[in-house]
Amino acid sequence: MDKFVELDEKLMNLLVKQEDFLTDAVRRSQAAGLPAIEVSPAQGQFLYLLAKLSGARRILEIGTLAGYSTLFFAKSLPDEGGTVVTLESDPDTASVAEENFMASPYRNKIQLLVGQAKNTMRLL
């Protein structure tokens, strides 16, 4: 087993509580046949920590996939005034992400824009 993968799995098991909505997001992604390239739970927790410590109020994510990392970003934001804007070019992939967002407690913090980033970024 790759040493990085082994370390990541150990960190995940020791430090990261996998919440149900995150587990369900991975399941929906797999069921939709999306590539298994989402961040790991430990990496997601790291993204959460970086965003939280920076005091971010607005985050731009280019490339949503199933929205797994988006959910960690949204979780890091303040309850009032925090927003993640995430851009996804593929409408079918975006529909899986939207389902994952709607099933999470952070749906009101996420704005999903569908289309090529060079076009959707103009809307910001």
Chain segment 47-73, per-residue pLDDT in tens: 999 999 999 999 999 999 999 999 999
* Residues with Cβ within 8 Å of residue 63, at least 6 apart in sequence: 87, 88, 117
For the chain, give the percent of residues with pLDDT over 70: 98
The domains found in the chain, sorted by start residue, are: 3-123 (3.40.50.150)
Q: Take residue 65 and report the two structure tokens written for it.
A: 């996939």
Q: Take residue 108 and report the two structure tokens written for it.
A: 């009101």
Share the mean pLDDT of the chain.
Answer: 92
Q: Rounded to 5 degrees, what are φ and ψ at 88?
A: -135, 130
* 114: helix, strand or coil: strand
Query: Average pLDDT for residues 23-43, to the nearest whole number?
Result: 90
Query: Average pLDDT for residues 94-101, to the nearest whole number?
Result: 98
* Residues with Cβ within 8 Å of residue 110, at least 6 apart in sequence: 67, 70, 74, 83, 84, 86, 101
